[in-house]
Amino acid sequence: MDRIDEILASYREEMMETVQKWVRIPSVKGEPAPDAPFGVEARKALDTAMADCEAFGLKTEIFDGYAGHADLGDGSTRDALAILAHLDVVPVGDGWSRDPFGAQRIDGKIYGRGTSDDKGPAVAVLYAMRAVKEAGIPLKRKVRLILGCDEECGSSDMRYYKQVTEMPRSGFSPDADYPVINIEKGGAHIQFVGKNSHEGLHVLSMQVGERANVIPGFASALVEGDEAMAERAQEAGKKLGFPVTTMLCNGAVIIETTGMTGHAAFPSHGRNAIGQMLLIFKELGATGALLSLADAVGMTYNGENLGIAMSDAISGELTGSLDIIKVDDDSVEALMDIRYPVLLNRDAMVEMIKMRLPDFEITVPTSHKPHYVSEHTELVQELLEAYHEVTGAEKKTIAIGGGTYAQSMEEGVAFGALFPGEVEMAHQADEFMTEESIYQNARIFARAIIRLAGDNRTESEE
């Protein structure tokens, strides 16, 4: 593989500049426009990526702004090695100390929304394909890079893609962790709708959260009260250990609390500002729906207070985070993101939640089933070998709570791009990816392509 590494090393600086170029496009989902179903910025990101793929000699096609693909080699699409990554990003959120779309390079890191999730890994795949092409590695099957624009909001892009063209049977998505993720938990968004009680604490308004899969790091609420209420709120924050600020406002009090944003698949890594606020409400005498949510969810993240805590030996424990809430004078609406183990029945879980919160109308607007691929498949074993060859690290499979494009394929797994021991920055403020990590990912992906799609009758690169 010396030739592959030489090529990638020669393009290392250009690779980082490509990451910067892609990250500078603020491809948060926006209002639909002609040929841009997820907004003009998402379409710009797709056009930019496809232009780069084409410049490297790959055959490209765009599908009505939903997604695009770039092919290396020829052969059956059904039997192609598919590599799926996404160009859309979650909203910026709070707590940034740098320009979220500045793509600044500081101390060997590239900062910006989407660097690690998922533009940096996508660029690493593109340069791996370029290196395999430039090295003249014979291929026994086509390699197809598929780039989508709606992964963060339900993957409607991949559903559309599968309607208008053929999805390869097998492949991987560089949108999670190493070594190989062959199990993805099931997921469900649980919608709660209840009445806002005016007894005890009267919350006048509150609207927090932008996406169901992003833990909010800041919450603000307007409550009825005076200076004494403001003092009580600050005392509640001290008691609970949460940072709280207050401000008097025309016969009411603004209460603010700061947590730490993060990915809903890893709620214990963040600090949910909605949960903090609910517990403050409880201390201030809240009743009705808000008290019920404080008791049933609060700052917990494993479903214990909802009666749905569970783990299994295959996929680990259930996780949940309440990431969106809207309160007005009449109602309380909230959305919870739950990632549940392979062996848990989704419908039974929902019934348990309804029993625990009978005063709420509870629905499930979106959900997906758990996804599992045997660790004994050629796909998994060859990916593990590629990873081990570069890192020397243990070859093992793991399960995650996150959902990736891997579920779009019959035999799809998540492979990279976060190395063990690295800080998870997806969906967080000051998101970054190290330049070294991007480069090492490209080395691993090139080896994976050769192992899974290379013609093994040729030994010139061994």
Catalytic residue ranges: 88, 151
Three-state SS for the chain is CHHHHHHHHHCHHHHHHHHHHHHCCCCECCCCECCECCCHHHHHHHHHHHHHHHHCCCEEEEECCCEEEEEECCCCCCCCEEEEEECCECCCCCCCCCCCCCCCEECCEEECCCHHHHHHHHHHHHHHHHHHHHCCCCECCCEEEEEECCHHHCCHHHHHHHHHCCCCCEEEECCEECCEEEEECEEEEEEEEEECCCCCCCEEEEEECCCCCEECCEEEEEEECCHHHHHHHHHHHHHHCCCEEEEEECCEEEEEEECECEECCCHHHCECHHHHHHHHHHHCCCCHHHHHHHHHCCCCCCCHHHCCCCEECCCEECEEEEEEEEECCCEEEEEEEEEECCCCCHHHHHHHHHHHCCCCEEEEEEEECCEECCCCCHHHHHHHHHHHHHHCCCCCEEEECCCCHHHHCCEEEECCEECCCCCCCCCCCCCEEEHHHHHHHHHHHHHHHHHHHECCCCCCCC
Do 210 and 93 meet the contact criterion of CB atoms below 8 Å apart? yes
